[in-house]
Amino acid sequence: MTAAFPQPLDGVVTPRFAGPVTFMRLPQIEDATQLDIALLGVPFDLGTTNRAGARHGPREIRNMSAIIRRVHPVTRVEPCRLCRVADAGDTPTNPADLMHSLQLIEDRVAEIRAAGAWTLSLGGDHLISLPILRGIARATPGFQPLGLVHFDAHSDTNDTYFGGMRYTHGTPFRRAIEEGLLDPKRIVQIGIRGSLFDPEDMVWAAEQGVRIIRIEEFEALGVDATIAEARRVVGDGPTYLTFDVDSLDPAFAPGTGTPEIGGLTPREAQRMLRGLRGLNLVGADVVEVAPPFDQSGGTALIGANMMFEILCLLAEARVASR
């Protein structure tokens, strides 16, 4: 319907190993007034508490995203024909200053939202979700707290680290709840597992009403019932989607900062994302791909494919919002 929309390079015309390195080989367009959905790199990992490296995630996801073709194999959705989608480049960051970086990320996201585009961000560690949500709130008149579908091994609702540090990739959703960016009763976390710092680790989140689906419960429910529960929790209201690649088992996705054994398979993640079709999504991110620990490139490949699954959801949501 819209030959004028930005299109990926055609893989049967320009080989997929050739050409410039952008997300899905789309044009790079930084002026968000020209876009409905901005694919936004956030090369930041100062929130990482263990193995750093997610700052290199956007570049490697761009590289591996060259393998993505334009049509979803199951839904037949073509996101770049539904919407104006392009690679909006990377947010500025300050690799010597965490707090300054948070401000720079928030400012860029607010600028994009104010220009009328939504963001699908590629991290970066999970702390980036906090300034992204702040930027969305700042640029949305009459903002109301969002729902959240959160795939992760970790709840990321701890309070502080290292003697009072409130901003790490283990704390973004606690801060987002405290700041009124998220409605805790409309948060669902899927895939939670791994050893704890303290028996009380997730008590605060549960007390706020966050629906935590640990991996054991996911196993008992199965994919379809987990989808149904996620949809029940977030309901029809505006919802953000965040996908931490460590929700997957490190057998598939070892290239991440805080791997936890006993995780989701890529198939389970694909099925669950496809089951979220029709949700009132308003933005999303894929985080925690850490290329220094990704010797096969397979984790960045998963990141690129999850990006495409989510882009298809966002494009349909964007059309439905018109």
Single out the residue of 70, 72, 126, 175 in contact with Mn ion (rule: CB under 5 A).
126
Sheet holding 182-192, edge to edge: 85-90, 37-42, 118-123, 281-287, 239-244, 146-151, 182-192, 211-214
> What six digits make up the tokens of 288?
């925690």
User: For Mn ion, which is the closer residue by CB, 87 or 152?
Assistant: 152
User: For Mn ion, which is the closer residue by CB, 5 or 44?
Assistant: 44
Size of the site for Mn ion (CB under 5 A): 7
Rounded to a whole number of angstroms, the minimum distance from the CB of residue 125 to Mn ion is: 8
Distances (CA, A) of 108 to 43, 103, 172, 179: 13, 9, 18, 19
> What would the x/- binding string for Mn ion be over residues 43 to 62, using CB under 5 A?
--------------------
> What six digits make up the tokens of 149?
């579908």
C-alpha span between 56 and 46 (Å, rounded): 12
Rounded to a whole number of angstroms, the minimum distance from the CB of residue 76 to Mn ion is: 31
Residues 226-285 that bind Mn ion (CB under 5 A): 244, 246
DSSP string covering 196-214? -SSTTTTHHHHHHT-EEEE
User: For Mn ion, which is the closer residue by CB, 33 or 265?
Assistant: 265
Single out the residue of 90, 106, 152, 316 in contact with Mn ion (rule: CB under 5 A).
152
Rounded to a whole number of angstroms, the minimum distance from the CB of residue 49 to Mn ion is: 11
Single out the residue of 153, 176, 282, 307 in contact with Mn ion (rule: CB under 5 A).
153
* Binding region for Mn ion (CB under 5 A) out of 67-75, 150-158, 193-201, 214-222: 150-158
Which residue type occupies 270? Q
Alpha helices in the chain (DSSP H): 57-64, 79-82, 98-114, 129-138, 172-178, 203-208, 215-221, 223-234, 266-274, 298-320
Q: Are 37 and 116 in contact (CB under 8 A)?
A: no
* Binding region for Mn ion (CB under 5 A) out of 17-25, 83-91, 120-128, 212-220: 120-128
Which residue type occupies 171? T
User: For Mn ion, which is the closer residue by CB, 192 or 312?
Assistant: 192
**Strands 118-123, 211-214: pairing kind:** unpaired
User: For Mn ion, which is the closer residue by CB, 87 or 260?
Assistant: 260
* Binding region for Mn ion (CB under 5 A) out of 6-14, 49-57, 122-130, 214-222: 122-130
What residue ranges bind Mn ion (CB under 5 A)? 126, 152-154, 156, 244, 246
